[in-house]
Amino acid sequence: MARASLHALTWSEEQRLYELYTRGQLKLRFRPGEESAWLDWLNEATSFAFHGKDGSLNVYLEKRPRGGAYWYAYHTGKSRTHKRYLGRTENLSPAHLEETARSLSDEQQPAPATELGTALLSSRLAPPRLPNALVERERLLTALDEALSTRLSLLSASAGWGKTTLLSAWAQRHQGQVAWLSLNELDNSPTRFWVALIAALRRCPALTSSIGESVVTQLQSPQPPPLLSCLSVLLQELERGSPHPAPIVLILDDYQVIEEPNIHQSLAFWIEHLPAHLRLVLSTRVDPDLPLARLRARGELTEIRMDELRFDQEEASQYLSQLLSPVLSPEEVRRLVNRTEGWIAGLHLVALALQKREDRAAYLEALTGSQRYLLDYVQEDILAYLPESVRTFLLHSAILSRLDASVCQAVTASPTAAASQQMLTLLERANLFLVPLDEERRCYRLHDLFREALLSALYTSQPEMVPLLHRRAACFYEAEGEWAEAIAHWFETRDFSAATRLMERTVEQFWVRGEAATIANWVLKLPEPLLREHARLTLTTALHLLHTATQATRAQRESVHRQVRQLIARVAMALRRESDEHPAIDAGAGTLALSEDLEARVAERDVLHRRMRLLSMYMTFFGALASGDRERLDSMQQEIEEELDQDEEAIWQIVPLTYSFLLHFSTWQTGATLLPRLLAAKERLSHRASPFVSLKVRQFLAFVALEAGKLRLASQESQAALDLIEQARGDVLLKDYFEVALAHVWYQWNRLEEARGALHTVMHDASTWQHLDLLGFGYLGLLQIALATANWPLAEFALDGMEQMVQRERFATYPGRLPILRAQWWLARGQIEEASEWAAHVVFPQGTWEASLYHAFPVVIRVYFAEQRWTEAAELLDNSRKRLDRPANVRITITYLAQSLVALHQAGQRDQARAVAARLFALTEPEGYLRVYLDEGEPMRQALLAFLPPHSQQHKLASSTTAYISKLLAAFEQEQRDPGRSLVAAPTALSPDRQASVLPSAPDASLTRREQEVLRLLATGASNQDIARTLVIELPTVKKHVSNLLGKLGASSRTQAVSRARALSLL
Amino acid sequence: MYYAIRVQGHLSPSWQERLGGLRIEQEETGTTLLSGMLPDQAALHGVLLQIIRLGLTLLSLETSETGDNL
């Protein structure tokens, strides 16, 4: 959400000076060269955004572990972020920043302005232009109108029956309500398909152009939420829209190209949940794999099939009269309709063949008497009559799925683009099956049937040209940055090494957009020798594929795992073959004199084998984690330890690190041991890892810092990560892990309203995307806050939510926690008997402790406290010392020490209490812990009082410790005065009875940049006119933004919107 | 595996390259027989998809190990 850059240094072109803004307020202005005030300001700063004359940067101060701090610039392009060293503060002149911004913008230049086929995408988002010869087929247009009474309409017939033309004609009559998408083969990955579909919806005039924005971001993130959660969010957004007078019709043309089962499944889900004002129309050559029978039975499907699409005598006569002069006699038309069976492509072909004939009657006679396949007339009766240059142009362009002047120029080696454009115009006028796709007639496609006929002619007459033509197309698209198109054409040339070269170069851009599946499909097509050569690419693709399935449903995960095993098997086979051919490789390590080449190969094989192991471990590990198979997990420890720090590539380093984190953090409760390793990893990776990898390391680091009792470090890391994610407008779910970490820190610092604010965001996102892990963190955090502030409705909400989640999802991580949470609730409510009953049944064994026992322990102790069984508590604490007082988990140690202090003090063992307290203060004072004391209540207050005069004269404490104790006691006093204080004062506070219902469905307050600007002006009391003047936009636009803002914030007035925004920390 | 695929109408032999390399024979009954060996089901799938793309009417499909009995 809007954590807009705090400070921004902006060049003002009119004023010719730099302006420094903090939270949108002008703080400083200076001319180039008069920079002393600026440098003064810099001494206080740690980050700012720079918007210079020729480019923008995000600038951060990064501290070195061994002292010193240096500035770095980040520049985010379309898909990757570049980092540049800037130096010390005194070097940070605006001139230096300008130069850096310029050079980083220049580096972006070769990277094209298109995002993986978006340029080509836009021509697919509108119906093709109508053909010159058009018959208005009223009966079918009416049938389509009527079809809108059902949620799905299906036009199913093989090629050339006029489906697309019919839909285009219909779409033209209903322009305001239509969203259109022409599909192609590359859409066979769920991400690409749904991103394209959302792009189509955005084009529809009846829908807002920002619809599905967050869904696209999530779909394209490296670890996307389950596909169906994304679709639910999209459907909700569509539901929310203002009422529509006429239904919105989404038309998907050429659905037969989709073969990916996951897309069919997700589309079936979408149809099932389609909002009432939305309709789906599919045109396809084969019946799609959707639950058609069920929809048919429920009367929710309309079908228009071949028989309805046949041209009757009347329509055929109308059609032919537009192409032929003089017109045919009714008898001739009747015979042609018979011969073609009303197949419009056939009629079109016949008309073209007839155009040039002098002997029409005789030709027709022969044609109608013949059995010849109508498409075969193309070569001898149509192409043969065209001028040589036109024929060649057509044959050569046929390898392209989309045609425009520049790609045709490249492929046909024509002298200029203008010549190609002329050719295209001529072909269109001659009705040679060329379909213009845009108003300006720049982009075309050949009708598929005609294209097939042309390709057949090309393969028979000039087979040697085929690879050359594809090569030209590949080079063209490569230069244009249309990677997917280029790679597809490289595959057609059979020049696999060129295809893999380009894949190697662009693969990251596919990965960062969640399109690992696309790359995997290509890799599986590679012949073996190349697969061996690009084994690294293959395995890294598999890894990215696994990442995309971390949040997926079981079925989706299994299908991904199948694909990953396939990739591993191919690499394994290639390696086996290699060792069969070069037995020396396996004998390798043992022999004395290895040639350098052989040595390199042996090393490379080791890397590949290790990565294959890591991938298999990945699947086993997450399987065991999901089923809570502790034994299996424990047994993997050795394996994992061996793999750590082995690989040199960041993306692979993160794999064993992830296992290690999950085991230490969740399963064994020994997270703190990882701190040195993660600090080192962060340092090592910071310069060369993708944002995904470095954020992942930071996420682990923040959580491990909490376990190590380092609240300040956890807070720093989280804040820094949040800033980075904000700058990159990144993944909300990744962001939320840092919000969780911050919430823990704030909780300990007793800044409960801030903790609750962070968790509020987390809960909103987690329930939107059904992210169970985050949902669990959210409930847990809220429950602690609720108990601390005696907010019973909130506590009930969190407990119920947790219970439902565990029941519904059979979530392996939390079932053991539930009874503990209930016991905490009883304790807080004073139901000591119930809590005591529970505590009596908790056994702390001599052997290994389950993770949940570590959570249960302090609650059991608190039950003893409540019953004033001080000595027993002290004994139990002492017996468990070895498990709880250890550096592997300082968070647990701190609670252990705090409770020991209470128990010993109350049991009258003052000297021991004093010794424990000294350790406790040493750990907690520098990090500012408060709640670990407050949560123990009155007994702790009494224990603390003993350290201050008049109770304690003989023992001198450091003055800072005395101050800390006073601060703690003050916090106790405040808490006793007003237990609910923190939340009542919070701006987000809602009346208790509304809390439960409102929390999970907070308004979707993700604001666009413009809306944020408008919001900020609204907060100053600006009128619409003021806003329009300030932002230099039209008044109606302002009104639109304001109404969107009110909608997003769920507010009914401007004042309410501002106060809601404040409450949500959007202002 | 050997395949014999019959479609409606007379198809030009020039399609051979685009139809899995199968031999193309026009029959007196106004039908065309596509026949020959295909390496696997994936290849057959490709031929059938091409038949669908071309809007041809599929009449029959027979298989045998060697083609002797067809």
- Flag residues of chain B having pLDDT under 70: 67-70
Residue A784 contacts residue A756 (beta carbons within 8 Å): no
Answer for the pair A319, A135: CB distance below 8 angstroms, yes or no.
yes
Chain B residue with Cα closest to A369: B30
Beta bridge partners of A499: none
Rounded Cα distance, A647 and A536, in Å: 12
Residue A591's CB: how many other CB atoms inside 10 A? 9
Q: Which chain A residues have a beta carbon less than 8 Å from that of B15? A: 456
Q: Among B47, B48, B54, B56, which would you mutate to test the A interface (most chain A Cβ atoms within 10 Å of its Cβ)?
A: B54
A1052, exposed or middle or buried, with CB in 10 Å at 0-12, 13-18, 19+? exposed
Question: Which residues in chain B touch residue A158, judged by CB atoms under 8 angstroms apart?
Answer: 52-53, 55
Residue A812 pLDDT:
56
- In 3-state terms, what secondary structure has residue A135? coil
Chain A residues inside the 8 Å CB shell of B10: 370-373, 376
Question: Is A264 in contact with A258 (CB distance < 8 Å)?
Answer: yes
The complex scores an ipTM of: 0.87
Residues 6+ positions from A107 with CB-CB distance below 8 Å: A75, A82
Which of A158, A371, A460 is closest, CB to CB, to B52?
A158
- Point out the residue among B12, B18, B50 whose CB comes nearest to the CB of A373: B12
Which of these, A684, A726, A679, lies nearest to A702 by C-alpha position? Answer: A679
Chain-chain contact of B17 with A285 (C-beta, under 8 angstroms):
no
Place of tokens 């799938």: B45
How many residues are listed for chain B in this entry? 70
List of chain A residues with pLDDT < 70: 1-5, 24, 65-67, 76-81, 105-120, 242, 552-553, 585-594, 647, 688, 729-730, 809-815, 950-955, 978-1006, 1050, 1052, 1062-1067
| Residues A862, A870: Cα–Cα separation, whole Å | 10
Q: Is the sign of the CA dihedral A183, A185, A187, A188 positive or negative?
A: positive
A27: which DSSP letter?
E
- Rounded to an integer, what distance in angstroms lies between the CA atom of residue A1034 and that of residue A1037? 5
The one-letter amino acid at A878: D
Length of chain A as a residue count: 1067
| Residue A648: Cβ-neighbour burial (10 angstroms; 0-12, 13-18, 19+) | exposed
**pLDDT of res. A246:** 84
Distance CA A253, CA B18 (A): 24
Instruction: Measure A146 CA to nearest chain B CA, in Å.
Output: 28
- Comparing CB atoms, the residue among B17, B32, B54 nearest residue A449 is B54
pLDDT of residue A253: 96
| Strand ranges, E, within A412-567 | 434-436, 443-446
Asked if the peptide bond before residue A950 counts as cis, ω within 30 degrees of 0, the response is yes
pTM of the model: 0.71
The pLDDT value recorded for residue B68 is: 64
Q: Which pLDDT value is given to residue B3? A: 95
The answer to whether the Cα torsion of A208, A214, A215, A220 is positive or negative is positive
From residue A870, how far is each of A864, A873, A877, A972 by CA, in Å? Answer: 7, 5, 10, 21
* Contact residues on chain A for B32, CB-CB shorter than 8 A: 373
A329: distance to nearest CA of chain B, Å?
A: 26
User: Could you say which of B9, B17, B53 has the minimum Cβ distance to residue A373?
Assistant: B9
How far is B49 from chain A, CA to nearest CA, in Å? 10
Confidence (pLDDT) at A529: 84
Q: How is residue A707 written in tokens?
A: 């376990």
pLDDT tens, position by position, A617-661: 888 888 887 777 888 888 888 888 788 777 678 888 888 888 899
pLDDT at A1011: 79
Distance from CA of A387 to the nearest CA of B (A): 22
Query: According to the model, what pLDDT value does residue A166 have?
Result: 96
pLDDT digits (tens, 9 = 90+) for B11-22: 999 899 889 999
The answer to whether the CB atoms of B18 and A343 lie below 8 A apart is no
pLDDT of residue A112: 36
CA dist A7 and A574 (Å) reads 54
Short-list A459, A457, A449, CA closest to A374: A449
Q: Is A377 on the interface with B (CB under 8 A)?
A: no
Summarised one tens digit per residue, pLDDT across range A497-547 is 899 999 988 888 787 777 888 899 899 889 888 888 889 999 999 998 888
Are B54 and A379 a contacting pair at CB < 8 A? no
Q: Is the peptide bond before A326 cis (omega within 30 degrees of 0)?
A: yes
Burial class (CB in 10 A: 0-12, 13-18, 19+), B50: middle
